[in-house]
Amino acid sequence: MFNFLGKKAKEPVIKVLAKERTQYNDIYVIQNDNYRELWFKGNGDDFLQSRVNLEKPHQLALVYSNMMMASLLFCPKPRRLLMVGLGGAAVTNFLSEQFPSLHIDVVDIDPKVIEVSKKYFYLRESNRYRIFEEDGRVFIQNRKGQEPYDWIILDAFNGDYIPEHLLTKEFLTETKQLLTAD
């Protein structure tokens, strides 16, 4: 690195807090200075899934997460949210804080992702913020005829890979049937 005026740039302090291998992912929790990050490793590549600023844990720290909030333009006052894919719970923790009456259901297939999110990413379930360990497609199929959602976020991915059964026309039709009319 360049050294201007004798000042040396501060090197980041990176520490691995947890490493879990599951049938779905190799999961890493990384402490990177003031940020805690959830990474998945697969096919020789590492994929950032979630980031939390420890000094501001209820703010979104990734551009990707912030861009998801643009969907609020279509549903500015959501009452019920379904999110398929938990990651480090940054998005749903943020939404739970910003919308105190929002009922949030999150479904994730990987029990270790849920466990890591509770231990390292401030995930706290409540009567209005529930986590389900299940395949997202099965969860959606089992919700037919129950109270609909105002907002559904599909965020189940691993880097550039989305599970194939979550990309079918049939799955998207089933998902759409869980939405309120407006």
Exposure class string for 141-179: b at 16+ Cβ within 10 A, else e: eebeeeeebbbbbbbbbbeeeebeebeeeebeeebeebe
Comparing CA positions, the residue from 102, 148, 99, 89 lying closest to residue 128 is: 102
Please say if 105 is a catalytic residue: no
Secondary element (H or E) of residue 21: strand 14-21
Please tell me whether residue 44 adopts helix, strand or coil conformation.
coil
Q: Which of 105, 108, 110, 155 is catalytic?
A: 155
Active-site residues, by number, are 155
